[in-house]
């Protein structure tokens, strides 16, 4: 890739990193120990970046120089939070998500399209006990972290900090209009995880599995109410008269992945779930546009069940509730 193309691509990647936080002149002036004018001369291509300046920018913003030099059709750079940065506390996990949402909220006119694969994470935040269990399952069973191997899941009151973080994320998520594609597998994997942990004696108190089932039932009712009204709102509160628009679609064919597409007046991007609870993010124009086209086609092939189509909506949630009830009966039988 020619020097000028590398330079312009590098500046675009930096803009994506700092969007909604600072100007590129101010941000790189600190990194490169230059004046803002000197930065903008490089930004406009009037002055070439030195190899040392490129190195400083790549290191500061965690940009791969190899990927920068090989960017062409079919090559996409993603960012993600490495597993070694997690302490697997609920607070740490939610803090990373809140930071990303605050950046999105600060951009102009944000909108979301979400393809839900089994678990609608943001709706899950209405019930912190379910998020705790999901994170624990990820650490113990999928990642097999040694500290979790001999530890049973137990009831613990959600910390005030975790509660506040979840509430802050929900408030931002609810305020952004979203189109969300659901399928018949909604929460089915989550239900199986609860049953499996109960049968494998991974609960300190086996009856807590029933408590989680009850929370799933409450979550089902809450999503149904939001779909009926076409409005997102926090569990236990009232739907707003304006804003918080929620379009729910039923894709009768299973969603093969979980995609989170966002668009604003300044930036478009995609988040993908990765390694169960982690995520990848990119603002690569080609990849983002391809993802948007696929999501649009999914919506076109799905039935809207928010506000309208009451019969289909009721049938959808009846099947979900029946799955939760069947799991509850299986757990109760094992407790006798």
Q: Which of 22, 46, 69 is the last residue of a domain?
A: 69
One domain, residues 17 and 144: no
Looking at the domain assignment, is residue 111 inside a domain?
A: yes
Q: Residue 125 sits in which domain range?
A: 83-335
**Taking 70 as the threshold, does the pLDDT of residue 172 lie above it?**
yes
pLDDT of residue 318: 98
Q: How far apart are the first and last CA of the chain?
A: 68
138 and 183 in a single domain? The answer is yes
Please tell me the predicted confidence (pLDDT) of residue 144.
Answer: 86
On the question of pLDDT at 85 being above 70, the answer is no
Model confidence, pTM:
0.83
H runs (alpha helix) in the chain: 3-18, 24-32, 36-43, 51-60, 65-69, 90-105, 121-124, 128-137, 146-149, 160-175, 188-199, 208-229, 285-300, 310-335
Average pLDDT over residues 179-195: 97
Q: What percentage of the chain has pLDDT greater than the value 90?
A: 60
Q: What are phi and psi of 316, to 5 degrees?
A: -60, -50
Count Cβ atoms below 10 Å from residue 300 Cβ, excluding itself: 8
Whether 135 maps to a domain, the answer reads: yes
Gap between the Cα atoms of 335 and 235, Å rounded: 30
Lookup: tokens for 173: 């998520």
Structural domain contains residue 77 = no
Can you tell me the distance from the alpha carbon of 113 to that of 120, in angstroms, rounded to the nearest whole number? 12
> Does the pLDDT value for residue 88 go beyond 90?
no
Q: Report helix angle 51-60 to 24-32, nearest 10.
A: 110
Higher pLDDT, 226 or 335: 226
* Chain segment 297-328, per-residue pLDDT in tens: 999 999 999 999 999 999 999 999 999 999 99
Contact 111, 23 (CB under 8 A): no
Q: What is the CA angle 113-24-29, rounded to 5? A: 150
């Amino acid at each position: 890739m020619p020097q000028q193309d590398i330079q312009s691509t590098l500046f675009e990647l930096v803009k994506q990193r700092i969007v909604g936080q600072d100007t590129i002149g101010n941000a790189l002036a600190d990194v490169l120990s230059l004046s803002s004018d000197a930065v903008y001369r490089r930004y406009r291509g009037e002055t070439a970046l030195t190899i040392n300046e490129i190195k400083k920018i790549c290191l500061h913003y965690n940009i791969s120089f190899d990927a920068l030099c090989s960017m062409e059709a079919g090559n996409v750079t993603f960012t993600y939070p490495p597993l070694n940065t997690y302490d697997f506390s609920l607070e740490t996990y939610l803090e990373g998500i809140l930071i990303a949402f605050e950046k999105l909220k600060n951009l102009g006119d944000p909108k979301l399209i979400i393809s839900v694969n089994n678990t609608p994470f943001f709706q899950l935040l209405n019930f912190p006990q379910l998020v705790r269990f999901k994170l624990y399952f990820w650490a113990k069973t999928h990642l097999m972290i040694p500290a979790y191997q001999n530890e049973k899941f137990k009831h613990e009151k959600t910390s005030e900090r975790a509660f506040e973080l979840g509430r802050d994320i929900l408030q931002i998520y609810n305020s952004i209009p979203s189109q969300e594609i659901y399928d018949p597998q909604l929460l089915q994997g989550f239900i199986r995880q609860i049953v499996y942990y109960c049968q494998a004696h991974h609960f300190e108190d086996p009856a807590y599995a029933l408590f989680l089932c009850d929370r799933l039932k409450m979550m089902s009712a809450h999503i149904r109410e939001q779909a009926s009204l076409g409005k997102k709102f926090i569990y236990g509160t009232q739907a707003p008269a304006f804003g918080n628009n929620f379009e729910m679609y039923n894709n009768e064919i299973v969603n093969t992945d979980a995609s989170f597409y966002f668009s604003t007046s300044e930036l478009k991007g995609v988040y993908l779930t990765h390694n169960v609870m982690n995520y990848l993010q990119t603002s690569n124009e080609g990849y983002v546009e391809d993802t948007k086209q696929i999501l649009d086609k999914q919506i076109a092939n799905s039935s809207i069940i928010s506000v309208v189509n009451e019969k289909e909506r009721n049938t959808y949630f009846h099947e979900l509730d029946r799955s939760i009830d069947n799991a509850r009966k299986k757990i109760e039988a094992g407790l006798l």
